Amino acid sequence: MAETPQDLLTALQDPDEAVRAEATQELWQHWFTQKGAWGLAQLSRAQTHWEAGELDQAEKVLTNLVQDQPDFAEAWNRRAVLYYLQGQYPSALHDCERVLALVPVHFGALHGQGLCYAALGEYALAIQSFRRALTVQPHALVNQKLILECTALLS
């Protein structure tokens, strides 16, 4: 498989689903391990709290992490997901913006941004986010489906 993040992004355009799946997995791995073993351990610690239903603890770990490592895009992204799942859409949007300022091609944050806008009834903005996600991951059927759903809600 490709080695650089740019090679992986190019592989997301490949017609072969297996190539795209491997590139997607490798990009996630790249983002999660940006800060090495220590950063990955912090994300894992937050995930353990999250899975145990200790959402306040998970949020504390992630908040400490983004304060300590403000350039750690995946820490911002994980906190955005946590906020989204708690219905805290403005906070989730803020964190998605931080991710995208650091990694403009972060398809997870683009998708999450679209979900937040849709949850807030901002369907035109949601469509823009899902379209941006499709420029990175053109074969992501979920974003195509969400664009259709949001378009229907606009009319």
Domains of the chain: which residue ranges? 33-154
Average pLDDT over residues 132-150: 97
Q: Is residue 130's pLDDT more than 90?
A: yes
Segment 83-109, tens digit of pLDDT: 999 999 999 999 999 999 999 999 999
Distance of CA 48 to the CA centre of its chain: 19
Q: What is the pTM of this model?
A: 0.94
**Which of the pair, 141 or 3, is modelled with greater confidence?**
141
Look at residue 2 in the predicted model and tell me its pLDDT: 42
- What CATH topology corresponds to 33-154? 1.25.40
